[in-house]
Each structure stands twice: as structure tokens, then as C-alpha cells.
């Protein structure tokens, strides 16, 4: 199956890894995952600092390669919320609870363009030890580490 997923992935944390693992799981053996990685310009809207695109891409690729997933993949630059999801042929979009509305918008815009809707797979956000969502912002604030453990 051809799957799409996107994000800033900075720093790459347990929630991102769960999202990506699920994407590769859905793609299956011989499937393909297109990963939209936000451009520096698009990522600059974040409330915390974001490392350069190349650094994030290299870290993402190193982690994917270490996992030895049976599906192929491509990391593409994501300059807006939709990237190639409006025009590319694929079957599934994997999102978190936070980005589910964007997935619904993608399907609506695809339909307006005469393209088929895609299946949306939503994963639950991963909770840190304190019961709050693991997020890049919390990691940058040094509240938690990349695994969701409290920093004391």
C-alpha cells in the first residue's frame, strides 16, 4: 500500500517514531511510505527552535534505516500543510489526533479536484510519564526527554 505521513520531526521523539512505525506497518511488505518533512520556512512557524531541514532529514533517514522496515520510502520537502497529498496517488494517510483535521481537509480538497479520497489512520498521541502529551515543545522546554520521561 502507498502511504503518506508528514511532520517536522524535531526532535525525533517517541510519538514521531510511533507515527512512522504505524505508517510502515500499514504500507506493509513491498509498500511505500512518502514522508513529508517540513521545510525550514514552513517549520519556522513553530513556537520552539527547529534545526535545519538537512539535519532533521539525516536524523530521520538514519532512524528509518536502523529499523529495516520492509516497505520503501521517500522523504520529500513539505512546504505547506498538504504537500503532494492533494495530487499524488496513494491509499492511506497516517496522522495523530492533533493533525486529523488536516487529513479530513486533504480528503475534501482531493474530492474537489476529482481525486479519490484516501483512508485516514489516526494514532493516539503518546503520553509522557506525567500523563501529558509528548511534544517537541515540551522537549525543548526540558520538561521531558525524547522518550517522555520527566527531566528532574
pLDDT in tens, 65-110: 999 999 999 999 999 999 999 999 999 999 999 999 999 999 999 9
151 is a domain residue:
no
Kindly state whether residue 115 falls inside one of the protein's structural domains: yes
Cα distances from 89 to residues 4, 61, 64, 73, 107, in angstroms, run 10, 23, 23, 15, 12
Residue 151's pLDDT band, with cuts at 50, 70 and 90, is very high
State the total domains in the chain: 1
Residue 39: pLDDT band by 50, 70, 90 thresholds? very high
Residue 142 is assigned to a structural domain of this protein: no
Residue 146, domain member (yes or no): no
Please determine, for residue 40, whether its predicted confidence score (pLDDT) is greater than 90: yes
The per-residue pLDDT for 120 is 98
User: CATH number for the domain including 12?
Assistant: 3.40.50.620
Q: Classify residue 130: in a domain, yes or no.
A: no
Residue 54 has pLDDT above 90, yes or no: yes
Q: How far is residue 34's CA from residue 32's CA, in Å, rounded to a whole number?
A: 7
Q: What is the pLDDT of residues 19-32, one digit of tens each?
A: 999 999 999 999 99
Label residue 111 by pLDDT band (50, 70, 90): very high
Could you tell me the residue range of the domain that residue 39 belongs to? 2-124
In a domain, 83, yes or no: yes
Amino acid at each position: 500500500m502507498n502511504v503518506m505521513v508528514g511532520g517536522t520531526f524535531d526532535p525525533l521523539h517517541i510519538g514521531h517514531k510511533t507515527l512512522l512505525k504505524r505508517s510502515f506497518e500499514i504500507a506493509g511488505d513491498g509498500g511505500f511510505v512518502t514522508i513529508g518533512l517540513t521545510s525550514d520556512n514552513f517549520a519556522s512557524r513553530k513556537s520552539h527552535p527547529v534545526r535545519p531541514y538537512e539535519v532533521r532529514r539525516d536524523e530521520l533517514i538514519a532512524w528509518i534505516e536502523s529499523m529495516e522496515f520492509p516497505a520503501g520510502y521517500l522523504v520529500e520537502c513539505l512546504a505547506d500543510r498538504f504537500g503532494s497529498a492533494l495530487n499524488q496517488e496513494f491509499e492511506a494517510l497516517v496522522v495523530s489526533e492533533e493533525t486529523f483535521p488536516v487529513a479530513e481537509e486533504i480528503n475534501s480538497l482531493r474530492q474537489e479536484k476529482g481525486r479519490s479520497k484516501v483512508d485516514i489512520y489516526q494514532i493516539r498521541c503518546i503520553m509522557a510519564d506525567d500523563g501529558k502529551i509528548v511534544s517537541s515543545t515540551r522537549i525543548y522546554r526540558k520538561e521531558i526527554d525524547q522518550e517522555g520521561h520527566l527531566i528532574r
